[in-house]
Amino acid sequence: MLIANPLYDTAFKGLAQDLEVAKAIIETLLETEVLEIELGATERNKPMDDADKRPRFFRMDYSAVIKTKDGSQQRILIEMQKANGGDALARFREYVAQAGYMAKSDTKVPLPLVTIYFLGFKLKNVAAPCLKVSRQYIDMLNNEVLETKEKFVELLTHDSYVIQAPRIKTTANPQTKLERILSVFEQDGFADPKEETIYYKYPAEEPYQKRMLDILHYIGTHPEERKKMDEEAYWLRYEDMWFGELTRMRMRAAEAEEKLADARETIAEAKKREAASIKNLLNKGLAPNEISILLDVPVETVTNIK
Protein backbone atom coordinates (compact mmCIF):
# COMPACT_ATOMS: atom_id res chain seq x y z
CA MET A 1 0.00 0.00 0.00
CA LEU A 2 1.24 3.49 -0.85
CA ILE A 3 1.13 5.78 2.19
CA ALA A 4 2.28 9.30 3.00
CA ASN A 5 5.47 9.55 5.05
CA PRO A 6 4.11 10.27 8.56
CA LEU A 7 7.10 12.48 9.36
CA TYR A 8 5.68 15.16 7.07
CA ASP A 9 3.50 17.64 8.97
CA THR A 10 0.58 17.07 6.63
CA ALA A 11 0.63 13.33 7.24
CA PHE A 12 1.46 13.51 10.94
CA LYS A 13 -1.42 15.90 11.53
CA GLY A 14 -3.78 13.56 9.69
CA LEU A 15 -2.82 10.77 12.07
CA ALA A 16 -2.58 12.74 15.29
CA GLN A 17 -5.89 14.58 14.94
CA ASP A 18 -7.77 11.30 14.50
CA LEU A 19 -8.76 10.49 18.07
CA GLU A 20 -8.99 6.73 17.47
CA VAL A 21 -5.41 6.69 16.20
CA ALA A 22 -4.22 8.99 18.99
CA LYS A 23 -5.95 6.77 21.55
CA ALA A 24 -4.26 3.65 20.14
CA ILE A 25 -0.80 5.28 20.23
CA ILE A 26 -1.25 6.67 23.75
CA GLU A 27 -2.69 3.44 25.17
CA THR A 28 0.17 1.42 23.68
CA LEU A 29 2.95 3.68 24.92
CA LEU A 30 1.50 4.33 28.38
CA GLU A 31 0.44 0.68 28.71
CA THR A 32 -2.94 1.61 30.11
CA GLU A 33 -6.54 2.12 29.01
CA VAL A 34 -7.62 5.53 27.74
CA LEU A 35 -11.21 6.05 28.86
CA GLU A 36 -11.70 9.52 27.35
CA ILE A 37 -9.64 11.70 25.03
CA GLU A 38 -10.09 15.24 23.74
CA LEU A 39 -8.00 17.16 21.24
CA GLY A 40 -6.52 20.41 22.52
CA ALA A 41 -4.06 22.81 20.90
CA THR A 42 -2.47 22.19 17.53
CA GLU A 43 0.60 24.19 16.59
CA ARG A 44 3.20 24.38 13.87
CA ASN A 45 6.33 26.38 14.51
CA LYS A 46 5.99 27.73 10.98
CA PRO A 47 2.43 27.42 9.56
CA MET A 48 2.19 26.40 5.92
CA ASP A 49 0.46 29.33 4.23
CA ASP A 50 1.22 31.79 1.45
CA ALA A 51 3.33 33.98 3.72
CA ASP A 52 5.43 31.28 5.33
CA LYS A 53 5.39 27.64 4.28
CA ARG A 54 8.29 26.33 6.33
CA PRO A 55 7.31 23.40 8.60
CA ARG A 56 9.84 22.73 11.35
CA PHE A 57 8.05 21.46 14.44
CA PHE A 58 4.57 20.18 15.06
CA ARG A 59 2.68 19.48 18.25
CA MET A 60 -0.75 18.40 19.40
CA ASP A 61 -2.17 18.45 22.91
CA TYR A 62 -4.68 15.99 24.31
CA SER A 63 -6.62 15.86 27.52
CA ALA A 64 -7.19 12.22 28.43
CA VAL A 65 -8.72 10.21 31.23
CA ILE A 66 -6.67 7.07 31.84
CA LYS A 67 -7.06 4.09 34.13
CA THR A 68 -4.30 3.94 36.76
CA LYS A 69 -2.66 0.81 38.14
CA ASP A 70 -4.97 0.76 41.15
CA GLY A 71 -8.04 0.88 38.89
CA SER A 72 -8.91 4.51 39.55
CA GLN A 73 -9.28 7.20 36.88
CA GLN A 74 -6.95 10.15 36.29
CA ARG A 75 -7.09 13.04 33.84
CA ILE A 76 -3.72 13.94 32.32
CA LEU A 77 -2.36 16.23 29.64
CA ILE A 78 -0.48 14.61 26.75
CA GLU A 79 1.90 16.54 24.51
CA MET A 80 2.63 14.79 21.20
CA GLN A 81 5.43 16.53 19.32
CA LYS A 82 7.32 15.87 16.09
CA ALA A 83 10.53 17.31 14.66
CA ASN A 84 12.68 16.42 11.68
CA GLY A 85 15.86 18.19 12.75
CA GLY A 86 18.30 17.92 15.63
CA ASP A 87 17.75 21.57 16.61
CA ALA A 88 14.38 20.65 18.15
CA LEU A 89 15.40 20.75 21.81
CA ALA A 90 14.70 24.42 22.49
CA ARG A 91 11.31 24.24 20.79
CA PHE A 92 10.33 21.08 22.68
CA ARG A 93 11.22 22.71 25.99
CA GLU A 94 9.27 25.82 25.06
CA TYR A 95 6.16 23.78 24.25
CA VAL A 96 6.34 21.98 27.57
CA ALA A 97 6.82 25.24 29.46
CA GLN A 98 3.89 26.89 27.70
CA ALA A 99 1.32 24.13 27.87
CA GLY A 100 2.34 21.41 30.29
CA TYR A 101 2.14 22.81 33.75
CA MET A 102 -0.30 25.64 33.06
CA ALA A 103 -3.11 23.44 31.75
CA LYS A 104 -5.85 23.18 34.34
CA SER A 105 -8.47 20.58 35.08
CA ASP A 106 -12.11 21.43 35.82
CA THR A 107 -11.10 21.99 39.45
CA LYS A 108 -8.46 24.57 38.39
CA VAL A 109 -5.69 22.19 39.46
CA PRO A 110 -2.77 21.71 37.00
CA LEU A 111 -2.86 18.43 35.11
CA PRO A 112 -0.04 15.86 35.22
CA LEU A 113 1.89 15.86 31.95
CA VAL A 114 3.16 13.12 29.62
CA THR A 115 5.25 13.97 26.55
CA ILE A 116 5.61 11.91 23.37
CA TYR A 117 8.32 12.85 20.87
CA PHE A 118 8.48 11.58 17.29
CA LEU A 119 11.94 12.25 15.86
CA GLY A 120 12.95 12.24 12.22
CA PHE A 121 16.61 12.00 13.20
CA LYS A 122 18.79 9.67 15.28
CA LEU A 123 19.89 10.37 18.81
CA LYS A 124 23.64 9.99 19.17
CA ASN A 125 23.82 7.70 22.21
CA VAL A 126 20.49 5.82 22.18
CA ALA A 127 19.93 3.01 19.68
CA ALA A 128 16.46 2.02 20.91
CA PRO A 129 13.80 3.05 18.36
CA CYS A 130 11.19 3.48 21.11
CA LEU A 131 12.40 4.82 24.44
CA LYS A 132 10.51 5.26 27.70
CA VAL A 133 11.93 7.71 30.24
CA SER A 134 10.13 7.09 33.52
CA ARG A 135 10.56 8.50 36.97
CA GLN A 136 11.37 6.79 40.25
CA TYR A 137 11.01 8.01 43.80
CA ILE A 138 14.23 7.08 45.61
CA ASP A 139 14.97 7.50 49.31
CA MET A 140 18.61 8.56 48.96
CA LEU A 141 19.52 7.90 52.59
CA ASN A 142 18.42 4.28 52.38
CA ASN A 143 18.89 3.85 48.61
CA GLU A 144 15.35 2.52 48.47
CA VAL A 145 12.84 2.83 45.62
CA LEU A 146 9.55 4.12 46.99
CA GLU A 147 6.27 2.85 45.56
CA THR A 148 4.23 5.85 46.69
CA LYS A 149 3.33 8.89 44.57
CA GLU A 150 3.10 12.49 45.67
CA LYS A 151 0.90 15.03 43.89
CA PHE A 152 3.42 17.86 44.29
CA VAL A 153 6.15 15.80 42.63
CA GLU A 154 3.86 14.44 39.91
CA LEU A 155 2.88 17.94 38.81
CA LEU A 156 6.48 19.15 38.60
CA THR A 157 7.94 16.18 36.73
CA HIS A 158 6.76 13.97 33.91
CA ASP A 159 7.34 10.74 31.99
CA SER A 160 8.44 10.90 28.35
CA TYR A 161 8.40 8.63 25.32
CA VAL A 162 10.80 9.07 22.40
CA ILE A 163 10.30 7.40 19.00
CA GLN A 164 13.29 7.54 16.64
CA ALA A 165 11.72 6.86 13.24
CA PRO A 166 15.05 6.31 11.39
CA ARG A 167 15.95 3.53 13.87
CA ILE A 168 12.72 1.55 13.38
CA LYS A 169 13.50 -1.77 11.69
CA THR A 170 10.33 -3.81 11.44
CA THR A 171 10.24 -7.60 11.19
CA ALA A 172 8.48 -9.33 8.29
CA ASN A 173 5.25 -9.49 10.27
CA PRO A 174 4.95 -7.18 13.30
CA GLN A 175 3.61 -9.19 16.22
CA THR A 176 2.77 -6.74 19.01
CA LYS A 177 0.61 -3.65 19.02
CA LEU A 178 3.68 -1.48 19.58
CA GLU A 179 5.52 -3.11 16.66
CA ARG A 180 2.52 -2.56 14.38
CA ILE A 181 2.25 1.11 15.29
CA LEU A 182 5.99 1.70 14.94
CA SER A 183 6.02 -0.04 11.55
CA VAL A 184 3.84 2.75 10.15
CA PHE A 185 6.60 5.27 11.00
CA GLU A 186 9.44 3.18 9.56
CA GLN A 187 11.60 5.19 7.16
CA ASP A 188 12.12 2.55 4.49
CA GLY A 189 10.68 1.64 1.10
CA PHE A 190 10.40 5.21 -0.19
CA ALA A 191 8.37 5.56 -3.38
CA ASP A 192 9.79 8.88 -4.55
CA PRO A 193 13.06 10.87 -4.34
CA LYS A 194 11.56 13.41 -1.92
CA GLU A 195 10.67 10.58 0.50
CA GLU A 196 7.10 11.89 0.67
CA THR A 197 5.53 8.47 0.17
CA ILE A 198 6.36 4.95 1.30
CA TYR A 199 5.37 1.47 0.16
CA TYR A 200 4.00 -0.14 3.32
CA LYS A 201 4.72 -3.82 2.89
CA TYR A 202 3.44 -5.46 6.07
CA PRO A 203 0.05 -7.08 6.65
CA ALA A 204 -2.55 -4.82 8.28
CA GLU A 205 -4.46 -7.03 10.69
CA GLU A 206 -5.77 -4.71 13.41
CA PRO A 207 -8.45 -1.97 13.11
CA TYR A 208 -6.18 0.79 14.50
CA GLN A 209 -3.42 -0.24 12.05
CA LYS A 210 -5.82 -0.24 9.09
CA ARG A 211 -7.14 3.18 10.15
CA MET A 212 -3.62 4.63 10.31
CA LEU A 213 -2.80 3.25 6.86
CA ASP A 214 -6.10 4.43 5.35
CA ILE A 215 -5.45 7.98 6.56
CA LEU A 216 -1.89 7.98 5.23
CA HIS A 217 -2.96 6.37 1.94
CA TYR A 218 -5.50 9.14 1.38
CA ILE A 219 -2.97 11.87 2.18
CA GLY A 220 -0.33 10.22 0.00
CA THR A 221 -2.59 9.91 -3.04
CA HIS A 222 -5.02 12.85 -2.84
CA PRO A 223 -3.84 15.69 -5.16
CA GLU A 224 -4.44 18.54 -2.68
CA GLU A 225 -2.74 16.72 0.18
CA ARG A 226 0.20 15.80 -2.05
CA LYS A 227 0.52 19.46 -3.01
CA LYS A 228 0.90 20.35 0.67
CA MET A 229 3.61 17.70 1.03
CA ASP A 230 5.40 19.03 -2.06
CA GLU A 231 5.47 22.45 -0.42
CA GLU A 232 6.86 20.90 2.75
CA ALA A 233 9.56 19.08 0.78
CA TYR A 234 10.63 22.32 -0.88
CA TRP A 235 10.95 24.19 2.38
CA LEU A 236 12.63 21.29 4.16
CA ARG A 237 15.32 21.36 1.48
CA TYR A 238 15.51 25.15 1.79
CA GLU A 239 15.98 24.94 5.54
CA ASP A 240 18.58 22.22 5.24
CA MET A 241 20.50 24.35 2.75
CA TRP A 242 20.52 27.51 4.86
CA PHE A 243 19.54 26.83 8.44
CA GLY A 244 20.81 23.24 8.43
CA GLU A 245 24.28 24.35 7.39
CA LEU A 246 24.25 26.97 10.13
CA THR A 247 23.32 24.31 12.65
CA ARG A 248 26.09 22.03 11.39
CA MET A 249 28.61 24.90 11.65
CA ARG A 250 27.54 25.50 15.24
CA MET A 251 27.88 21.80 16.01
CA ARG A 252 31.38 21.72 14.49
CA ALA A 253 32.32 24.81 16.53
CA ALA A 254 31.00 23.18 19.70
CA GLU A 255 33.00 20.02 18.96
CA ALA A 256 36.13 22.11 18.39
CA GLU A 257 35.56 23.90 21.70
CA GLU A 258 35.15 20.56 23.43
CA LYS A 259 38.38 19.24 21.92
CA LEU A 260 40.18 22.45 22.91
CA ALA A 261 38.92 22.12 26.47
CA ASP A 262 40.09 18.49 26.56
CA ALA A 263 43.51 19.55 25.23
CA ARG A 264 43.80 22.26 27.88
CA GLU A 265 42.90 19.75 30.56
CA THR A 266 45.52 17.32 29.23
CA ILE A 267 48.17 20.05 29.23
CA ALA A 268 47.25 21.06 32.78
CA GLU A 269 47.52 17.45 33.94
CA ALA A 270 50.91 17.10 32.18
CA LYS A 271 52.20 20.23 33.92
CA LYS A 272 51.06 18.86 37.28
CA ARG A 273 52.92 15.61 36.66
CA GLU A 274 56.00 17.53 35.49
CA ALA A 275 55.95 19.71 38.62
CA ALA A 276 55.61 16.63 40.83
CA SER A 277 58.58 14.97 39.10
CA ILE A 278 60.72 18.10 39.52
CA LYS A 279 59.85 18.35 43.21
CA ASN A 280 60.68 14.70 43.68
CA LEU A 281 64.09 15.10 42.03
CA LEU A 282 64.84 18.30 43.99
CA ASN A 283 64.02 16.47 47.20
CA LYS A 284 66.52 13.80 46.17
CA GLY A 285 69.24 16.46 45.93
CA LEU A 286 69.62 16.85 42.17
CA ALA A 287 70.71 20.27 40.89
CA PRO A 288 68.34 22.29 38.68
CA ASN A 289 70.62 21.96 35.63
CA GLU A 290 70.71 18.18 36.10
CA ILE A 291 66.94 18.02 36.33
CA SER A 292 66.68 20.25 33.26
CA ILE A 293 68.75 17.80 31.25
CA LEU A 294 67.02 14.73 32.68
CA LEU A 295 63.45 15.94 32.05
CA ASP A 296 64.26 18.04 28.97
CA VAL A 297 62.75 21.20 30.45
CA PRO A 298 64.18 24.73 30.77
CA VAL A 299 66.18 25.46 33.91
CA GLU A 300 63.80 28.33 34.64
CA THR A 301 60.95 25.81 34.85
CA VAL A 302 62.88 23.90 37.52
CA THR A 303 63.85 26.98 39.54
CA ASN A 304 60.30 28.31 39.48
CA ILE A 305 58.94 25.20 41.20
CA LYS A 306 58.15 25.89 44.84
List average pLDDT for each run of 10 residues in the chain, which is 306 residues long.
89 89 95 90 48 54 88 88 65 54 56 89 92 91 88 84 93 90 94 90 92 93 80 56 56 82 87 86 85 84 80
Q: Is 209 within the bounds of a domain?
A: yes
Q: Is 116 within the bounds of a domain?
A: yes
Q: Is 22 within the bounds of a domain?
A: yes
pLDDT of 53? 38
Q: Can you tell me the distance from the alpha carbon of 85 to that of 262, in angstroms, rounded to the nearest whole number?
A: 28
Q: How many domains does the chain have?
A: 1
pLDDT of 47? 41
pLDDT of 45? 45
Q: Is 124 within the bounds of a domain?
A: yes
Which residues form the domain of 214?
A: 2-221
List all residues 6 or more positions away from 195 whose beta carbon is below 8 Å from its beta carbon: 5, 187
Q: Is 282 within the bounds of a domain?
A: no
Do the bridges between strand 159-164 and strand 34-44 make them parallel or antiparallel, or are there none, so unpaired?
unpaired
pLDDT of 87? 53
pLDDT of 48? 42
Q: Is 193 within the bounds of a domain?
A: yes
Q: Is 109 within the bounds of a domain?
A: yes
b/e burial code for range 236-275 (CB count within 10 A of at least 16 → b): beebeeeebeeeeeeeeeeeeeeeeeeeeeeeeeeeeeee
pLDDT of 54? 37
Q: Is 79 within the bounds of a domain?
A: yes
Specify which residues 198 forms β-bridges with: 3, 190
pTM over 0.75: no
Do the bridges between strand 130-133 and strand 159-164 make them parallel or antiparallel, or are there none, so unpaired?
antiparallel
